[in-house]
Structure 1
Amino acid sequence: MVERRVIIGWSEGLHARPASIFVRAATATGVPVTIARKGGTPVNAASMLAVLSLGAEGGEEVVLASGSADPVAAEAAIDRLARLVSEGLEELPETV
């Protein structure tokens, strides 16, 4: 299991546009990823409704995790998503 704790860099948090960017990016990684608020229940990062249901705010800590059978792919995916979230980027970075 690969896991990263990151602070949300989008000032509006994971709402509407940032959530859409995040969900598309999580889906594009090709590995199963979950996201959770600190101490909360993990949800599927590729589900727009699940991500919106978190109600995660800007500056809040979230936990990204992947239990992919391919630890190298999981590590790369989590690193890229962590950068996307922490820097509030508009698209998934090519590399970390």
Structure 2
Amino acid sequence: MLRKRIIIGLEHGLQARNATEFVQKASTFESDITLMKKGVSVTAKSIMGVMCIAIRKKEDITLVVDGIDEQAAAKNLEAFLSNKQ
């Protein structure tokens, strides 16, 4: 299991288009992927969950990845969230 603290670098945070793209990326991995913000956690493969926690630019979140491809998933999703692709 990997836990990564990430500061969101996306201009509009995880709103609408970015949230959809993030969920699509997360869904390509077999690992269980969770986003945590201020004690609330949601599955990263659920567009409704991701939209509900309203992650904005410069917010501090935790990405938790657990599974067979966790290294690749964490690296890919961290790059997307911090806008370093």
Give the TM-score normalised by structure 1.
0.81
> 1:8 touches 1:88 (CA, 8 Å); kept in 2?
no
In the other structure, the counterpart of 1:85 is 81
Distance, in Å, in 2 between the alignment partners of 1:88 and 1:79 is 11
1:66 deviates by: 1.5
In the other structure, the counterpart of 2:6 is 6
| Paired positions, count | 85
In the other structure, the counterpart of 2:70 is 74
Aligned-pair identity in percent equals: 29
In the other structure, the counterpart of 1:92 is none
Distance, in Å, in 2 between the alignment partners of 1:7 and 1:87 is 10
Q: 1:5-55: per-residue Cα shift (whole Å, max 9, x none)?
A: 111111211110010010000001222100111x32211000000000011
Q: Larger helix proportion, structure 1 or 2?
A: 1
5+ long unaligned stretches in structure 2 = none
Paired residue type of 1:27? S
More RCO (CA 8 Å, sep 6+):
2
In the other structure, the counterpart of 2:21 is 21
> 1:6 touches 1:86 (CA, 8 Å); kept in 2?
yes
Distance, in Å, in 1 between the alignment partners of 2:84 and 2:57 is 9
In the other structure, the counterpart of 1:54 is 53
The ranges of structure 1 where at least 4 consecutive aligned residues each deviate by more than 6 angstroms after the TM superposition are none
5+ long unaligned stretches in structure 1 = 90-96
Give the TM-score normalised by structure 2.
0.90
